[in-house]
A = this chain, B = another copy of it.
Amino acid sequence: MPAPIDFYFDFSSPYGYLAATRIEDVAAKYGRWVNWQPILLGSVFKITGGQPLPSLPLKGDYAKRDMARCARLLGIPFAYPGKFPISGVAPSRAVTWLQSRDQQKAKELALALYRAFFVDDRDISNPDVTIEVATEQGHERAAVTAGINDQAVKDTLRKEVEASIAKGVFGSPYFVIDGEPFWGHDRIDQVEQWLAKGGW
């Protein structure tokens, strides 16, 4: 059985959203499982000195145009959120909580949270909104609320983010396949080449 694809994403990352929408189809084509790992770019940027795209002179304006254009060319719904960037802590905790119970449902929740933010302009950094989205996915409100407030879940997410950075993850989306790293939704064509050939 081939090794899984590690997929790292931040909930405030538009390119992470585009990749999240596409990666399962690509992986399924080559019989690979995908591990979805939420990361927090705020923690990453403390190490790398990086900054959120919108705050960067010139590049920020370009990125705003580019993300909408990429989504349009891929046929993926996208609307630039009213509040951006946001903290991905609440949605990441919800996904981390659910991953210990049901991996598949955790992926579906991650996609639903991404769509809530990047399609419906709902502020998922607000825990109440994240909980609302989870209930719409069929999860018990009380269970989700307890989950994202559970200290063990918080600790797990923190440790996973630290472990990701220790592995060299510095952006979103970021993929590792058979030890080979790929950064950016615009490397999905190379990801596909790698999967097709089993390396190169």
Contacts and interface: CB of A to CB of B under 8 A. Distances in A.
A66 to B, nearest CB: 7
Contacts of A59: 48, 50, 170-171, 183
Contacts of A66: 183, 187
A95 to B, nearest CB: 23
A73 B170 contact: no
B62 A181 contact: yes
A61 interface: yes
Interface in A57-89: 57-59, 61-62, 65-66, 69-70, 72-73
A184 interface: yes
A131 to B, nearest CB: 33
A186 B59 CA distance: 16
A49 interface: yes
B73 A190 contact: yes
Contacts of A47: 57-58
Among A49, A50, A58, A169, find the residue whose CB has the most chain B CB atoms closer than 10 A.
Answer: A58
A168 interface: yes
A143 interface: no
A170 B50 contact: no
Given A47-B57, A62-B170, 19 more contacts: A47-B58, A48-B56, A48-B57, A48-B58, A48-B59, A49-B57, A58-B170, A59-B170, A59-B171, A59-B183, A61-B168, A62-B168, A62-B181, A66-B187, A69-B190, A70-B190, A73-B193, A186-B186, A186-B187
Interface of A: 47-50, 56-59, 61-62, 65-66, 69-70, 72-73, 165, 168-171, 181, 183-184, 186-187, 189-190, 193, 200
